[in-house]
């Protein structure tokens, strides 16, 4: 049997939430996706609130993953303990709310979703994502595993994909908000793309007003970033997985631009 998994890039601001609400279910139908994972850590610009998480689940997300902005909206803490369909990076050091792995039923299968975060140029106050992946994949009961690796460096994302080749059916990168064109299947059957991209304003710098980013690089005074306006895009990739062999057989981009 073939399982089609749709992975959606970082949802940014109100525009990202809006296009997700309007277009995700149609995209699921068009691609034949059975299961959808959405990275939602930028729904508030930085962070996500419980209300925004519920909106993404209502839009058609089966699981929401997060990243380095998990704690920018601290009210999400209790929600992470209560709602099993939202994950935060498993390798956060110390005692924090929530979980970094969940097992979900789909098409009669148990799908383990892992949320991990990189350390290179992002946050050194984390446990090793590589060791965390080993620990998580060696516990629990599941039929196949997929991974959202939220990381800055393309090298760290690629290294993780090759490290988990044959153990995860699919691994995709998030965080950098720029879609990459390297959809591939590694030798032992792991489907991989370096970064999904983002779901948010098209005419922007990573979802924010360009002038705000320009101001920063010209040495201007720091200011609060504001979401860009205008038409949005939805960046996503579709992974087709052979559930008997537990290997990915196809990876393709599934982007929408308005």
CA 76 to chain centre: 17
- Out of 34, 69, 177, 212, the active site residue is 69
Structural tokens at position 136: 């998580």
Residue with tokens 């209502």: 58
Identify the three-state secondary structure at position 14. helix
As a whole number of angstroms, the distance between CA 25 and CA 5 comes to 13
One DSSP character per residue, 214-230 reads: HHHHTTPPP----B--S
Q: Which two three-digit tokens encode residue 175?
A: 């965080």
| Residue 175: active-site member | no
Q: What is the DSSP secondary-structure string of 66-86?
A: --TTGGGSTTHHHHHHH-TTB
Query: Phi-psi region for residue 225, left (φ > 0), alpha (ψ -120 to 50) or beta?
Result: beta
Task: Give the residue numbers annotated as catalytic, written as ranges.
Answer: 69
């Amino acid at each position: 049997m073939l399982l089609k998994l749709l992975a959606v890039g970082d949802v940014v601001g109100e525009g990202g939430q809006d296009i997700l609400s309007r277009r995700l279910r149609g995209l699921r139908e068009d691609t034949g996706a059975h299961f959808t994972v959405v990275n939602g850590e930028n729904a508030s610009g930085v962070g996500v609130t419980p209300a925004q998480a519920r909106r993404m689940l209502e839009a058609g997300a089966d699981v929401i993953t997060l990243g380095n902005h998990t704690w920018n909206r601290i009210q999400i803490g209790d929600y992470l303990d209560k709602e099993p369909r939202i994950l935060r990076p498993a390798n956060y050091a110390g005692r924090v709310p929530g979980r970094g792995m969940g097992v979900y039923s789909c098409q009669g299968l148990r799908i383990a979703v892992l949320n991990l975060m990189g350390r290179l140029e992002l946050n050194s106050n984390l446990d090793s994502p590589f060791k965390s992946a080993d620990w998580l994949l060696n516990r629990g009961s599941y039929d196949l595993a997929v991974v959202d690796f939220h990381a800055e460096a393309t090298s760290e994302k690629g290294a993780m994909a090759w490290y988990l080749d044959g153990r995860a059916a699919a691994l995709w990168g998030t965080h950098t908000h720029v879609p990459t064109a390297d959809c591939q299947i590694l030798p032992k059957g792991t489907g991989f793309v370096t970064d999904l991209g983002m779901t948010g304003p098209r005419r922007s710098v990573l979802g924010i007003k360009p002038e705000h980013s320009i101001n920063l690089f010209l040495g201007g005074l720091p200011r609060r970033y504001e979401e860009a306006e205008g038409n949005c895009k939805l960046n996503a990739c579709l992974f087709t997985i052979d559930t008997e062999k537990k290997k990915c057989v196809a990876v393709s981009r599934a982007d929408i631009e308005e």
